[in-house]
Amino acid sequence: MLEEAGKFATGELAALNQSGDREGCHWQDGKVTTPRGWQAAYQQFCEGGWLSLALPERIGGQGLPKLLAMAVNEMWLSANMAFVMFHALSQGGCEILLNAANAAQQARYLPALASGQWSLAMALTEPNAGSDLAPTTTRAFPLGDGQYRIKGQKLFITYGEHDLTENTVHLVLARTPDAAPGSRGLSLFIVPKYRINPDGTLGDENDLRCVSIEHKLGLHGSPTCSISYGDQDNCIGELIGNEGQGLSLMFILMNEARLSTGLQGVATGEMAYQRALSYASERMQGNHWQDNKRRVALIEHPDVARMLLSMRSRVLGLRSLAYLISARIDLANHCTDQNEQHTLLANVALLTPIFKAFATEQGHEMSGTAIQIFGGMGFIEETGVAQLMRDSRITTIYEGTTGIQVKACADRLLSSTALRLPAQQLMACSEQLQQVIDELLTDDKTVQLRCYAGAVPLLDTLGYLLTGWQLAELASSPQLAEYETTYQQNMVALAQFYTAHHLVKVPALLQTVATAETGLADYRFNI
């Protein structure tokens, strides 16, 4: 399956990446046209069953582990991130319906969404309600029988309107007339572009329209839409679950989106590494650092090798973290022991936002490193690495923190000659981290300010520690003996490199966290 996914990613999706970026999407009279080749690629994507790998068989999915789907999804994201932005939305939206929709709603929507016949869009953000959804003003007026009249405007809706499917199903956060204030009063509604007849066929067009698409820094092939609901007071939606459950239900999709977004960081880093490695191996530039008479390829310069190893080690560690999270989700889904399941899900809840935020920041940073290796050629659009930076910039904005258990790994590796230094560094960092977190878990107002001001350095601490932990686990895996000697040596070398170049940043970051409030309360900005 991985081989077939690789063929499709390389042969179809990657071929459309740069052309889709240049052409972009086009809006006219409420309709959106995707770039040339997008429709044919989407049909192949659905016919291959790639959309529904990890969805249940009873709704048309393949019922495969999320771990496998994660590996396949990374290929799509590396090959053409803009194209597959719909994927996590469909996966997460189906999971919402599986958890909260009634039987009739599941029968009406799930098979078409799982097959890709219909697509799904997530409508949360409004002009006055961005990351904070409490001010949401979109309204939902009850009509009886679970139906509501929806009225309001939403923006930043990925694939909210397009020409790939016959119908688009919107999940809309809205407020009922008697709803509680703030986020507790939000409910979730399913609002199809075309209404569904009792026999399952498509009926009349619903009263919603795309009023514009965004002109963006990157991801030009992915339409980001502004949608107006109920201009004619005739936009009909159905309540999912109960009133007031909207935000908690939406977080089912958001957790899927967080994993996918973190994976976008990994995919960006992988693509940046592959392109930089190829260019650095071929581009002759300067003389050897020991032999001034011999011209060499870029890769033979120590600083270029440093940048390549930095990308390679980070990608590998973050990929391993993604697989760890997805494997624990699989285990939790099939676990019969409630205590074990609770522990697994709590672990996933901790690791997922760290992975999302840290991997996206690292992916964007690695795209910049690739441009640095390319030099002036990296600033030219034709080489494709500038697009990596543009496309990845949004991933760090999408939304996302915190304790870790790496001591067991460190204890095990202290007796290893090759991995003693990584083990010692992991042990020291985890102990320092525990001390800082213990201090942060108080009600002192100064410490509260420290938590807010030091949130990003703390996130980076956790990200570096988790990545270093995963590289140490990979380098010490018993399965490593099955691979040829060079591969084994490379795994150990990557763990050692990461320790020397990245894990050593943790003590300084923790010192920043410990004093993060310094100067903040006293400084006054001059406007």
The residue with tokens 């099955």 is: 482
Tell me the pairing of strands 186-192 and 194-196.
unpaired
143 by DSSP, 3-state: which?
strand
- Determine phi and psi for 32, rounding to 5 degrees: -120, 130
Return the amino acid letter for 347: N
Residues acting as catalytic residues = 399
Counting beta carbons within 10 angstroms of the beta carbon of residue 34, is it exposed (0 to 12), middle (13 to 18) or buried (19 or more)? Answer: buried
CA–CA separation, 168 and 162 (whole Å): 8
Instruction: Check residue 180 and report its DSSP letter.
Output: P
8 Å CB contact between 492 and 472: no
Triad 286, 268, 217: Cα angle to 5°: 100
Separation in Å, CA 91 to CA 86, 110, 335, 521 = 9, 10, 21, 44
CA–CA separation, 368 and 187 (whole Å): 41
Nearest to 360 by CA among 251, 265, 229, 249: 265
DSSP states of 476-508 as a string? T-GGGGGS-HHHHHHHHHHHHHHHHHTGGGHHH
8 Å CB contact between 419 and 475: yes
Backbone dihedral region for residue 200 (phi beyond 0: left; psi -120 to 50: alpha; all else: beta): left
CA–CA separation, 450 and 439 (whole Å): 10
- Give me 346's structure tokens: 């709590």
